[in-house]
Structure 1
Amino acid sequence: MEIHADLHDNFSEHIFCHSNDTFHEENAQDQPRWTNSTIFALLVFLVGVMGNGSLLLLILCKGRALRTPFNVYIGNLLLANSLNLCLQCPLDIANELYPCAWNFSRGACSIFLYAALVLQAVTYSAHLLIAVNRIWAVAHPISYRSIHSVRTSTRLCLAVWILVHVCVMPRWAADVLMDHRERTFECSLEPMGTGKEIWDLVIHILFFLLPHGVITAALPVIQIVKRRRGAGAKINIVQPLAEGRMGEPTNRTPASVFGIAAVNDIPQFPKASFLGMTAAAGKRADNNGRFRGYVLLLLMTITIAACWTPMEVYYVLSDIDSSFSAPIFFEVASVLFSCQAALDPLLFTLALRNIRREIRSILLHGPQINNQCRKRISSCAVLS
């Protein structure tokens, strides 16, 4: 399996000039090559940066209102999308405008390949964390409520970043840092020898195909768990006591029979009932949270199936047959693949009510950043 810069790339089909092309490289260097895919890539880049960046800033600045364990996974995905868009897409768009050669330095090529390989694997893994979180919440709700916290979700996100860099970054470093070729013609990871080809195949399966498969299978798994749990609940249902006419209990006291109100007939509201109402309210809130998480997973599964599947099919076919070539299909797959990073913030806004509430308050009362957010922004600026 050969990994180029456009493998798992967000946008472009890289076109390289050869000596027998109909136009000269000098003319291509002078005049930018604006195409429909280039314009679309620019629009997706702008929408994606604004959507991911603004939503990430909203989650970081709104304090405890949005700092929930599940929103940590969302912030992790927004961060990966933002870094990938900022590091990869400008170079990708510029390379599409002047497609005949790599017009930037070796350092720019290294950054481009890092985003195309490492950060793209982090993005896949961030989507995977959201799907696994939903499966955990449905399959093991007791352990999910007792163990899951902001600290737990933060540690899981950090573990994913470390795992991806430990497993994927050496492949990037082996080619970029140890290869002294001049990047005058193309910017790509060229496998040299059987070892790198096997390494590329393992990376493709573990960090791209496997997350895609788990995300696709998450909804069926959740439905199977719910159906089995519903069948088990029907078996364990306790039948209620027999009731008399108009819903009155049949075991009335003798005093109530003669028209004298007994103590047991007086409505009682013990403290346990208030505790029960509180527990019921908490259960309703928990069910609403699960439903919103389910809606988010449903929307994410649909968009990922539409955006990622064509690109993955193309590379699987190219792995099977090295002579496989379908330029039109690849261009369509690249356009669809580019949409996922721009669609993620929209999906979160549609599925999560707390995010919609905060956005609505900002739109109604103006984009006022509180003092806590200003302190965080200033502290980040000092650290940078």
Structure 2
Amino acid sequence: MSGARLFTNTTGAIPLNISHPYPEVKPWNYVSGISLVIFLAAVITNSVVLWLFIRHGHLRTPFTTYIMNLLVANLFNEIFQQPLTIISKLRTFSSLGTHFCTAFLYGSYIIHSLVYNSHFLITLNRIWAVTHPVSYHQYHTRKVALCTCLAFWMYIHLVMLPGFIQDAMFYRIPLSQGCYIVKQTQYAWFVTEQLMLYDIPLASLILAYPLICFFEVRRRVRHNRLILADTGDLSPHGRGSDSPASAVMGQQEPQRCKRARKQSSTAFVVLTMLTLSNCLFMLPLTVEYNWSVFGGLGLKKLPGFYEISNMLFYSQAVFDPILFTLALTDLHATFQQTFGLPC
């Protein structure tokens, strides 16, 4: 991720007339090389999985709409922002110009928050599914999922654009000093967008997982009890399970509930894998963000922490589609059939 959200002038002074004689062309280094590898891998993996969703209609469900939304956000981030980040590591902003800086800041603030909140939408979907399953199955359609995703894209722009536009119109620093938004000029907005679009979504995503686990376990216990009641298998020895009526009910029940159980279990597996990956890939950079916004509470930064957290964040875009392919049974089977892989 770019450093535009991190270099926020925590000293309190706003140096508007200081110029540094940086060379216009910077040498290629390992950070730029790794970024290029991550960019290529992320574009390939996200494009392939998104293409499978578009090509095969049976893969497109209300739940997978949120996965497609995340894949689009990943591609948007990789295709739009990652090249700008790589270029910014090789050239100075004064040589790249104002329009490049504006695009760079747009990606650093708005596109990155789209990736964060696309993960958060999957968690919100699971919370609704496990806490109110009746209304979820009744009202949650692909249209509702699509409208929810579009609403979040609009919400993110509404939060971000006021500060972004004010910086472009009134507070933009000289390009000789770099390309970032000075925190002190719009501190209230800075804190608001950090909390609303980064801290709260990621914290909710992590803290909601135990709650979803509780409801998921309770749902399965109730489901097993209903099966036992329908089949008459209420005793330890399964008395009544040999009757013709119970045998018919035992055969009908799986056919009636098989698809719902499969979708719920698959969605829970996806959420579990995403929660673990978010803790690994997104939490370090969120800590770095808060360190920048709130001053680090007087603590010193660890050497190289930003570079590591930056690479981890971009790496998640590579692993997201791989996790989806492994966790979603239908997607996994379609991937194997499309590319002729052995089952």
Which interval holds the TM-score relative to the shorter structure? 0.7 to 0.9
1:39 positional shift: 1.2
Q: How does 1:302-381 map to 2 (within 5 A)?
A: 302-318=276-292, 319-321=294-296, 324-364=300-340
Work out the CA distance in 2 between the residues paired with 1:234 and 1:66.
28
Structure with the larger helix share = 2
The 1:238/1:150 distance shift into structure 2, 3 A limit, reads closer
Q: Which residue of 2 aligns with 1:122?
A: 114
Q: Which residue of 2 aligns with 1:208?
A: 198
2:79 to 81, 86, 89: 86
Q: Which residue of 2 aligns with 1:187?
A: 179
The one-letter code sitting in structure 2 at the alignment partner of 1:5 is A
Work out the CA distance in 2 between the residues paired with 1:226 and 1:165.
34
2:17 aligned with 1:25:
no
Work out the CA distance in 2 between the residues paired with 1:90 and 1:300.
25
1:290 to 264, 284, 307: 264
| Residue ranges of structure 2 left out of the alignment (5+ in a row) | 8-17
The 1:282/1:44 distance shift into structure 2, 3 A limit, reads farther
The 1:229/1:86 distance shift into structure 2, 3 A limit, reads closer
Conserved in 2, the CA contact under 8 Å of 1:44 and 1:342?
yes
Work out the CA distance in 2 between the residues paired with 1:37 and 1:295.
33
2:223 aligned with 1:223:
no
The one-letter code sitting in structure 2 at the alignment partner of 1:334 is N
1:165 positional shift: 1.0
The one-letter code sitting in structure 1 at the alignment partner of 2:200 is L
Work out the CA distance in 1 between the residues paired with 2:148 and 2:233.
48
How many pairs are equivalent? 325
2:144 to 152, 166, 172: 152
1:233 positional shift: 7.7
1:340 positional shift: 1.2
| Range with greater deviation from structure 2 (122-131 or 174-183) | 174-183
1:51 to 45, 54, 64: 45
Conserved in 2, the CA contact under 8 Å of 1:137 and 1:144?
yes
Q: Deviations over 1:3-39 (max 9, x none)?
A: 961449xxxxxxxxx989xxx734xx35x42222221
1:54 positional shift: 2.4
Q: Which residue of 2 aligns with 1:257?
A: none
Q: How does 1:32-71 map to 2 (within 5 A)?
A: 32-62=26-56, 64-71=57-64
2:165 aligned with 1:173:
yes
1:197 to 175, 178, 187: 187
Work out the CA distance in 1 between the residues paired with 2:117 and 2:153.
9
The one-letter code sitting in structure 1 at the alignment partner of 2:329 is R
1:322 positional shift: 7.3
2:62 aligned with 1:72:
no
Work out the CA distance in 2 between the residues paired with 1:113 and 1:334.
16
3-state SS in 2 of match to 1:88: helix
Q: Deviations over 1:116-159 (max 9, x none)?
A: 11111111111111011112222221111111111110111111
The one-letter code sitting in structure 1 at the alignment partner of 2:50 is L
The one-letter code sitting in structure 2 at the alignment partner of 1:25 is Y
1:201 positional shift: 0.4
Q: Deviations over 1:297-325 (max 9, x none)?
A: 11111111011111222333342447644
Work out the CA distance in 1 between the residues paired with 2:162 and 2:43.
28
Work out the CA distance in 2 between the residues paired with 1:86 and 1:238.
54
2:139 aligned with 1:163:
no
Work out the CA distance in 1 between the residues paired with 2:113 and 2:233.
58
Over the matched positions of the two proteins, sequence identity in percent amounts to: 27
| Residue ranges of structure 1 left out of the alignment (5+ in a row) | 9-17, 250-264, 366-384
Work out the CA distance in 2 between the residues paired with 1:297 and 1:246.
35
Work out the CA distance in 1 between the residues paired with 2:172 and 2:240.
89
Q: Deviations over 1:270-292 (max 9, x none)?
A: 9xx48x74552231221121111
Q: Deviations over 1:238-295 (max 9, x none)?
A: 695999x99689xxxxxxxxxxxxxxx9x6799xx48x74552231221121111111
Q: Which residue of 1 aligns with 2:135?
A: 143
The 1:278/1:321 distance shift into structure 2, 3 A limit, reads same
Q: Deviations over 1:55-81 (max 9, x none)?
A: 22221232x212211111111111111
Q: Which residue of 2 aligns with 1:97?
A: 90
The 1:345/1:102 distance shift into structure 2, 3 A limit, reads farther
Q: How does 1:263-278 map to 2 (within 5 A)?
A: 273=248, 277-278=251-252
* Structure of larger gyration radius: 1
Work out the CA distance in 1 between the residues paired with 2:188 and 2:120.
24
Conserved in 2, the CA contact under 8 Å of 1:106 and 1:182?
no
The one-letter code sitting in structure 2 at the alignment partner of 1:199 is W
3-state SS in 2 of match to 1:206: helix
TM-score normalised per structure 1: 0.74
The one-letter code sitting in structure 1 at the alignment partner of 2:262 is N
Q: Deviations over 1:30-51 (max 9, x none)?
A: 5x42222221111111111111
Conserved in 1, the CA contact under 8 Å of 2:173 and 2:179?
no
